[in-house]
Amino acid sequence: MIVSKEYMESIIDQNKRIDGRKFDEYRKIEVEYGISPKSAEGSARVKIGDTEVLAGIKMELGTPFSDKPDEGSIMVNVELIPMASSLFESGPPSINAIELARVTDRGIRESKALDFKKLCVREGEKVWLVFIDIYPINADGNLFDACYMAALAAIKDANFPVLEGDKINYKEKGKEKLPLTKMPISCTVWMIGEKFLVDPTQEEELASDARLSIVILENGKICAMQKGGSMALRAEEIFKMIDIAEEKTKEIRRYFK
Amino acid sequence: MSKLVVVEKQIVVPGEILAEGMDFLPGKGTFREGENIIASRLGLVNASGRVVQIVPLAGKYLPKRDDTIIGVVKDMSYSSWFVDVGYPYEGSLSMKDATAEFIERGASLSDYFAVGDVIITKVANVTKEGNIDLTMKAPGLRKLNGGRVIEITPFKIPRVVGKQGSMIGLIKDKTGCTLFAGQNGRIWIRGSSPEAEKLATDAIYLIAEKAHTSGLTERVGEFLEKNKLENQK
């Protein structure tokens, strides 16, 4: 759809959205677990409206960082392939892809949802490295939430591969699940003009002035934030966005029960 | 003995034999091999008279001379604008063809068309290399203000317009929106409210989805009537 920024703003000003939704209304969310049980330790597909994202977990053994000898680690990678949107180009990761990966990584890492200590095999020698690869295959807005949900669902789905001595048997799926101890949920609130909305379509994203991604735990604790867009945010605006995110994460949480 | 192997409106795949014998002529989306006419596209068969052709189910826009289309201005040079028309190459609109006004030396071209502007324009010429020349010098060609532009596959535009514009007239009537369907599959919609525009958008997507079925005008009429009532609630 082609919509000019001015026209989009005039619609938002009337407290309406271009597809008839309310400002705080998500499109239909679908979470599917274990879409690639043979090739990945864990996998998931997340759809939000027409946006569709795949995530896969691969695990490897590696040496721990010297300051944290008893902790494993995660690595998040997002690839924005041209198939997903006409706005994406092939080649090295764009700044948007890097930001998506970093925000997803931070949400999982800083919430301490994944118990890194349980990823340790032998202290100071061998730990599990969890690779989270995220592939949006259709981008129609709100990739921040979609990528985050896909990563979380894939971790939830993942099992440790079988360890035979120091060798990994990828062919067999272990019984042990990845140590996901908490459920941090992300919600990105977008600002267009003076108004706040969630789950924008591609057109709304292009017309937006600022956004704030917020990751919230079950108990209401905020564990990660990322601000984007060219417009500065006032303190009261940030509080308002947090209130919206708190409300919406409660709603999204039921997809991860 | 010539004979048609397929029936009208049958869905065929590339390589399928459509007709045998020299009495039939290969039309669009087909070719002749020996005595047979063979499909080169996926689509519905249309055998009107002796010509056998295929109406594709989907595909990109292929510009033809005199097509009235919707374009988006992507770039400007010192004497022309470059317009995205939904084709791999951009169309070029030269200063001479852009306006009937006299453009003074040193005038700013963006006063006429700026990057991002949506325009109704016409294909003046398509060269062998695929370069497209556009013109604004015909009735009805203009810059579009506001509204939204949606995109469907260009082969379904005739269904959206309908016989003598019956289908598009129906949507205009029931939703109160202003519509324009370009030959390149882009449709401009502007209504009094986003709800009306959404209704028109949904109706057009419904037409595109069910384009190959009959009794479509009635079905779209019902759809519009039903959803209009819901909107008013």
Q: What ipTM was assigned to the predicted interfaces of this complex?
A: 0.80
Band (A245; pLDDT cuts 50, 70, 90): very high
The nearest alpha carbon in chain A to B115 belongs to A4
Q: What is the CA radius of gyration of chain A?
A: 19
Mean pLDDT score, B195-205: 93
Among the listed residues B53, B130, B59, B138, the one whose alpha carbon sits nearest the alpha carbon of residue B90: B130
pLDDT reading at B229 higher than 80: no
The mean per-residue pLDDT over the stretch A63-67 comes to 93
- What is the model's pLDDT at position B232? 64
Whether the per-residue pLDDT at B233 is higher than 90: the answer is no
Quickly list DSSP for chain A: -EE-HHHHHHHHHTT--TTS--TT----EEEEE-S-TTT-SEEEEEEETTEEEEEEEEEEEEPPPTT-TT--EEEEEE---TTT-TT--SSSPPHHHHHHHHHHHHHHHHTT-B-GGGGEEETTTEEEEEEEEEEEEE-SS-HHHHHHHHHHHHHHH-EEEEEETTEEEEEEEEEEEP-B----EEEEEEEETTEEEES--HHHHHH-SEEEEEEE-TTS-EEEEEEESSS---HHHHHHHHHHHHHHHHHHHGGG-
Q: What is the pLDDT of residue A112?
A: 93
Is there a contact between A2 and B149 if contact means CB atoms under 8 Å apart? yes
User: Which domains occur in chain B, in start order?
Assistant: 3-56 (2.40.50.100), 68-144 (2.40.50.140), 148-232 (3.30.1370.10)
CA distance B160 to B180: 10
Tens digit of each residue's pLDDT (9 = 90 or more) over A101-130: 999 999 999 999 999 999 999 999 999 999
How much is the pTM? 0.87
Domains and CATH numbers, chain A: 5-256 (3.30.230.70)
pLDDT at B106: 83
> Residue B107's pLDDT is what?
86
Give the residue on B whose Cα is nearest the Cα of A12: B194
What Cα–Cα distance (Å) separates residue A94 from each residue in A81, A97, A230?
A: 10, 5, 18
Average pLDDT, chain A: 94
pLDDT at A164: 87
Residues of A with CB under 8 A from a CB of B: 1-4, 6-7, 10-11, 14, 16-20
> pLDDT tens digit string along A143-184?
999 999 999 999 999 999 998 888 888 888 888 999 999 999
Task: Give the rounded percent of residues in chain B with a pLDDT score beyond 90.
Answer: 66
- Give the model confidence (pLDDT) of A2-42 as tens digits: 999 999 999 999 999 998 899 999 999 999 999 998 899 99
Q: Mean pLDDT, to the nearest integer, of B72-87?
A: 94
Cross-chain Cβ contact A6/B151 below 8 Å: no
